[in-house]
Amino acid sequence: MISTRVQAEAFDAGAEAATLAAGRSDIGAIVSFTGLVRADGGLVALTLEHYPAMTVRQLAAIADEAWARWPLIGGTVIHRHGRLLPGEPIVLVAIASAHRGAAFEAAEFLMDWLKTRAPFWKQEDRDGEHVWVAAKTSDDAAAARWSATPAKGEQP
């Protein structure tokens, strides 16, 4: 299964990948993606607001969808909330499979759907000026390539 967590604390991507592989010999590939706070344009901090009950449900639904689409052995998805500083990790997707193809694809799918369906909102702190980040149409396009028709739970 793919476990999902929403937390304020930082995570250790290496430790999460090691946990997926621990005690197993059937995993041939682990793909791990970590999203970080990037300090461009004078960014001081990023605050992630979320809708806790819906976040938990949406992450579980997205994880279930990936599990149904690819032959996976395990996975971990972690998304942080609260105030994060440049260089800090925001999101982790780590996917284990027998072969790399499924692991790469499932990890990219999870990130694309997470960005367009999980109810998180980023606010930038630019030296005291607080600005909500606008959604990107490129993210919508990236998510849409995985499904020709809107599925249940998709942001219309």
Partner 1 sequence: MITLLYFAWVRTRIGFGEQRLALPAGVATVADLLDHLATLSPGHAAALADRDAIRIAVDEDFVSTDALVAGAREIAIFPPVTGG
Q: Site for partner 1 (CB under 8 A): how many residues?
A: 33
Residue 132 in tokens: 């909500």
Contact call for residue 57 and partner 1 (CB under 8 A): yes
Site string for partner 1, 108-147 (x = CB under 8 A): ---x--xxxxxxxxxx--------xxxx---x--------
Q: How far apart are alpha carbons 133 and 126 in whole angstroms?
A: 12
Residue 83 contacts residue 31 (beta carbons within 8 Å) = no
What are the structure tokens assigned to 56, written together? 């938990």
30's tokens: 């682990």
Nearer to partner 1, 98 or 142 (CB): 142
Q: Which stretch binds partner 1 (CB under 8 A): 23-31, 43-51, 68-76, 99-107?
A: 43-51
Binding mask 58-97 for partner 1 (x = CB under 8 A): x--------------------x----------xx------
Q: What is the 3-state secondary structure (H, E, C) of 109-152?
A: HHHHHHHHHCCEEEEEEECCEEEECCCCHHHHHHHHCCCCCCCC
Q: Give Dmax over CA atoms of the chain in angstroms.
A: 51
- Using CB under 8 A, list all residues that contact partner 1: 35, 48-51, 53-54, 57-58, 79, 90-91, 111, 114-123, 132-135, 139, 152-156
